[in-house]
Amino acid sequence: MRQPQYFSGGGVFFDTHAHIADRRFEEAGVTVSDILGRAAEAGVKRILIPGDSEESSRKAVSTCLENNGELFCSVGIHPHEAKDYTEDTEKYLRDMLSSRKENRLCALGEIGLDYYYDLSPRDVQQTVFRKQLELAFEYDIPIILHERDATGDCLEILKEFHNRGQMRANPGVCHCCSMSPEAAREVVKIGFYIGFDGPLTFKNNKKGPVLAQETPMDRIVIETDSPYLTPEPNRGLTNEPAFVPFVAKKLAEIRNADIEQIAEITYHNGSTLYEI
């Protein structure tokens, strides 16, 4: 099997989005402590484990609480799962949001719209997105936005909340942002951070570097979205937080900065975003 490459560049990193409790790791015989050990060696000090369904949210919380280190988590219902959102789901989210400190819970997400896969009907996705935006405002917590091929509707809903004063000054992050620079500018204007991942390192990615060049430095966070979106030079292998320095390395090239600087700024941004 191909061996992964590691690189830290001497930086201290915050992987702001890694599904380290994902079934794929378990199936490959990789334990959370393996993942955390390699992350620590690569200089990755903080990791946020996002939820995307009720089940994965529960796992994110328990993984966060059962392991040592600077782990944080989020709970939320992804647009793919919107069709299964019930009153019980909402009750679970409310329970978690009211006990966020003891659960190391820092965000509501992933929430949003995904018209690429359309795994839930679009009107249902919109309803569930709105419900969770209301929750985020009520419980005063940032969101992790998942948006794919739905920029128009997504912006419209976000602006609607923003314009009626139902959005915090720090609304959250546009995770693995695939918006056009114009659309990204609009979400940055209402306070969002922009998340960059492995695809930034892909040779055929023309849009990503433009976005990375144009986004204000104080709004950039880095993430792996492990186990998906593995950056070069490990593309094709299972992604894990230890690979987040490759995203920082690419950003450093694009922004003409050194990697320690990028590590420090994105670590600070991630901590500000999640208010930790």
Give whichever of 220 and 229 is closer to Zn ion, judged by the CB atom.
229
* Rounded Cα–Cα distance for residues 267 and 16 (Å): 9
Of 58-66, 85-93, 181-189, 218-226, the window that binds Zn ion (rule: CB under 5 A) is: 218-226
The single-letter code of the amino acid at 86 is T
**CB contact at 8 A, 187 and 238:** no
Q: Which distant-in-sequence residues (6+ apart) come within 8 Å of 176 by Cβ? A: 17, 146, 195, 196, 197, 199, 223, 225, 229
Q: Which distant-in-sequence residues (6+ apart) come within 8 Å of 272 by Cβ? A: 170
For residues 11-46, b (16+ Cβ closer than 10 Å) or e, as one string? Answer: bebbbbbbbbbbeebeeeebebeebbebbeebbbeb
DSSP one-letter string for 163-178: HTT-S-SS-EEETT--
Of 2-10, 38-46, 210-218, 222-230, the window that binds Zn ion (rule: CB under 5 A) is: 222-230
Question: Measured in Å, how far apart are the chain's first and last C-alpha atoms?
Answer: 39
Give whichever of 17 and 219 is closer to Zn ion, judged by the CB atom.
17
Q: How far is the CB of 50 from Zn ion (least distance, A)?
A: 5
Residue 22 binds Zn ion (CB under 5 A): no
In the numeric block, the tokens 């009520």 are attached to 138
Q: Binding Zn ion by CB under 5 A: which of 225, 227, 263, 266?
A: 225
Number of H helices, E strands in the chain: 10, 8
Q: How far is the CB of 188 from Zn ion (least distance, A)?
A: 20
Q: How far is the CB of 110 from Zn ion (least distance, A)?
A: 6
Give whichever of 147 and 225 is closer to Zn ion, judged by the CB atom.
225
**Residue least distant from Zn ion (Cβ):** 225
Give whichever of 54 and 225 is closer to Zn ion, judged by the CB atom.
225
Name the 3-class secondary structure at 266. helix
Residues contacting Zn ion: total by CB under 5 A: 1
Of 1-9, 58-66, 111-119, 224-232, the window that binds Zn ion (rule: CB under 5 A) is: 224-232
Give whichever of 126 and 239 is closer to Zn ion, judged by the CB atom.
239
Q: How far is the CB of 18 from Zn ion (least distance, A)?
A: 8
Residues in 67-86 that interact with Zn ion by CB under 5 A: none
Q: How far is the CB of 225 from Zn ion (least distance, A)?
A: 5
Give whichever of 8 and 57 is closer to Zn ion, judged by the CB atom.
57
Phi and psi dihedrals of 173, rounded to 5? -130, 140
Q: How far is the CB of 227 from Zn ion (least distance, A)?
A: 10
Q: How far is the CB of 140 from Zn ion (least distance, A)?
A: 23
**CA 37 to each of CA 28, 118, 260: distance values in angstroms, whole numbers, following the listed order:** 17, 37, 21
Give whichever of 15 and 225 is closer to Zn ion, judged by the CB atom.
225
Binding-site ranges for Zn ion (CB under 5 A) = 225
